[in-house]
């Protein structure tokens, strides 16, 4: 956990993700990434120079018409003294049953993100923290290059003027293995995704491609992130 928090702090300070008095809502999917982020931000409050309030929000797609059991996550939040709000939705029904999307992941992510934005505003949060790590950023870069012919990834910090809300990604300097290690050591109540697209998406194929490439080109993910920062590509900062 210490290594994860150290890498998070480096990203948070470089990109000025949190300011004194912020109310930060963590988007909790139930996976290891968002839960590790929540716990790390909770621990960081003890010594991080900018004091902030922490909350947690979940959007339940209700896959196959069934509500997800978030009770273990609720218990974790209660232990930490973090307010936790869950919103049940008909995302599964809309995307898979009504629209029958051939490539549902993008639409699902957009709709879920919009709901998270609304929940943040209702809770008085001015920051939404998302659990993307370095591997996610590198995968997005490669997906954009291979599928769209564009250079870039999601931004470390994104200000949404229409919502007056800022999205931050504090784990951008952490590898997925760092997050997994922290989640295992803390025995976090990870919820296995019931999504019918789980492990079959374009992102999963890109993840495997990067793993294969790293066998020949070590630290490839770090090199991709470093290249984006050197080029100051799409909100990524070079060395000060």
Tens-binned pLDDT, residue by residue, of the chain (240 aa)? 889 999 999 999 999 999 999 999 999 999 999 999 999 999 999 999 999 999 999 999 888 888 999 999 999 999 999 999 999 988 888 888 887 777 777 788 888 899 999 999 999 999 999 999 999 999 999 999 998 899 999 999 999 999 999 999 999 999 999 999 999 999 999 998 888 777 667 888 899 999 999 999 999 999 999 999 999 998 999 876
CA distance 57 to 55: 7
CATH topology of domain 2-230: Rossmann fold (3.40.50)
Question: How is 177-209 classified by DSSP, letter by letter?
Answer: HHHHHHHHHHT--PPPP--TTTTTSHHHHHHHH
Domain ranges in the chain are: 2-230
pTM score:
0.93
For residue 84, which of 36, 123, 33 has the smallest C-alpha distance? 123
């Amino acid at each position: 956990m210490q290594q994860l928090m150290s890498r998070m702090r480096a990203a948070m300070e470089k990109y000025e993700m949190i300011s004194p008095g912020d109310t930060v809502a963590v988007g909790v999917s139930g996976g290891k990434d968002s839960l590790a982020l929540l716990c790390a931000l909770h621990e960081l409050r003890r010594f991080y120079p900018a004091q902030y309030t922490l909350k947690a929000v979940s959007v339940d797609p209700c896959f196959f018409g069934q509500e997800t059991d978030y009770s273990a996550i609720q218990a974790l939040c209660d232990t930490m003294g973090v307010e936790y709000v869950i919103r049940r939705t008909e995302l599964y029904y809309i995307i898979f049953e009504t629209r029958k999307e051939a490539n549902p992941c993008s639409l699902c992510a957009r709709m879920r993100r919009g709901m998270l934005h609304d929940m943040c505003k209702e809770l008085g949060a001015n920051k939404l923290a998302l659990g993307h790590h370095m591997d996610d950023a590198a995968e997005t870069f490669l997906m954009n290059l291979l599928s769209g012919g564009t250079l870039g990834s999601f931004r470390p910090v994104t200000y949404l003027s229409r919502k007056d809300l800022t999205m931050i990604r504090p784990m951008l300097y952490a590898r997925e293995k760092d997050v997994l290690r922290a989640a295992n050591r803390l025995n976090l109540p990870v919820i296995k995704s019931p999504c019918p697209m789980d492990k079959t998406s374009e992102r999963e194929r890109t993840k495997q491609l990067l793993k294969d490439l790293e066998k020949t080109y070590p630290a490839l993910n770090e090199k991709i992130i470093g290249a984006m920062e050197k080029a100051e590509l799409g909100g990524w900062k070079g060395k000060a």
